[in-house]
Amino acid sequence: MAHPVQGNLWVGFSGGLDSTVLLHLLATCRVPVRALHIHHGLSESADRWVDHCRAFAQELEVPFTLKRVVVDKRDGGLEQGARLARYLAFDQVLSSGDQILLGHHGDDQAETFLLRLLRGAGVLGLAGMAEWRSIGGGKSLLRPLLKVGRADLEIWARDHGLSWIDDESNTDESLDRNFLRRRILPLLSVQWSVRQRISRAVDNLRESAELLRELALTDLESCGLRAERFGESLDLSLFSALSMTRRKNLLRHWILQQGGLAPESTVLQEAISQVDSAALDAQLEVQLGRRVVRRFKGRLYLTSRLKTVPADGEKGVSWDGVSRLSLSAGGVLEPAVGWSSAEYQVSYRRGGERAHPADRDRSQTLKKLLQERGLEPWLRDRVPLVFLKGELVAVAGLFSCKANRATPDPPPGWRFFD
Ligand SMILES: Nc1ncnc2c1ncn2[C@@H]1O[C@H](COP(=O)(O)OP(=O)(O)OP(=O)(O)O)[C@@H](O)[C@H]1O
The pLDDT of residue 1 is: 46
Mutation to probe ligand 1, out of 104, 126, 170 (largest number of atoms < 8 A from CB): 104
Taking the centre of ligand 1 as the mean of its atom positions, its distance from the CA of residue 44, in whole angstroms, is 18
Q: Quote the distance between the C-alpha of residue 299 and its chain's center.
A: 23
Q: Is 300 in the pocket of ligand 1 (CB under 6 A)?
A: no
**CB-based contacts of 84-90 (< 8 A; 24+ apart in sequence):** 84/261, 85/38, 85/40, 86/12, 86/38, 86/40, 87/135, 89/38, 90/10, 90/12, 90/36, 90/38, 90/135, 90/139, 90/141
The pLDDT of residue 280 is: 67
Q: Is 164 in the pocket of ligand 1 (CB under 6 A)?
A: no
User: CA–CA separation, 120 vs 123, rounded Å?
Assistant: 10
Closest to 141 (Cα-Cα) out of 272, 10, 304, 7: 10
Q: Which stretches of 63-181 are assigned E, i.e. beta strand? A: 64-68, 99-101, 132-136, 139-142
The pLDDT of residue 406 is: 62
What confidence tens digit (pLDDT) does each residue in 32-51 have?
999 999 999 888 888 899 99
The pLDDT of residue 145 is: 96
User: CA–CA separation, 351 vs 380, rounded Å?
Assistant: 11
The pLDDT of residue 310 is: 65
Mutation to probe ligand 1, out of 19, 105, 145 (largest number of atoms < 8 A from CB): 19
340's enclosing H/E stretch is none
Q: Is 13 in the pocket of ligand 1 (CB under 6 A)?
A: yes
> What strands, in cross-sheet order, belong to the sheet with 64-68?
64-68, 34-39, 9-12, 99-101, 139-142, 132-136
Q: Is 38 in the pocket of ligand 1 (CB under 6 A)?
A: yes
Backbone angles phi, psi at 151, to 5 degrees: -60, -40
Give, using CA atoms, the residue closest to atom 9 of ligand 1: 14
- Ligand 1 atom with the smallest distance to the CA of 79 is 21
Q: Is 75 in the pocket of ligand 1 (CB under 6 A)?
A: no
The pLDDT of residue 120 is: 92
The pLDDT of residue 259 is: 77
Q: Is 19 in the pocket of ligand 1 (CB under 6 A)?
A: yes
Q: Please give the mean pLDDT across all residues of the chain.
A: 90
Residue numbers of the chain with a pLDDT score lower than 50: 1-2
Q: Is 34 in the pocket of ligand 1 (CB under 6 A)?
A: no
The pLDDT of residue 2 is: 45
Residue 169 DSSP class:
G
User: CA–CA separation, 217 vs 219, rounded Å?
Assistant: 5
Q: Is 83 in the pocket of ligand 1 (CB under 6 A)?
A: yes
User: CA–CA separation, 7 vs 99, rounded Å?
Assistant: 7
Do 295 and 301 form a contact (C-beta atoms < 8 A)? Answer: yes
Taking the centre of ligand 1 as the mean of its atom positions, its distance from the CA of residue 102, in whole angstroms, is 7
For residue 200, which amino acid is it? R
69's enclosing H/E stretch is none
Distances (CA, A) of 287 to 178, 210, 257, 263: 32, 26, 17, 10
User: CA–CA separation, 296 vs 161, rounded Å?
Assistant: 62
For residue 380, which amino acid is it? R
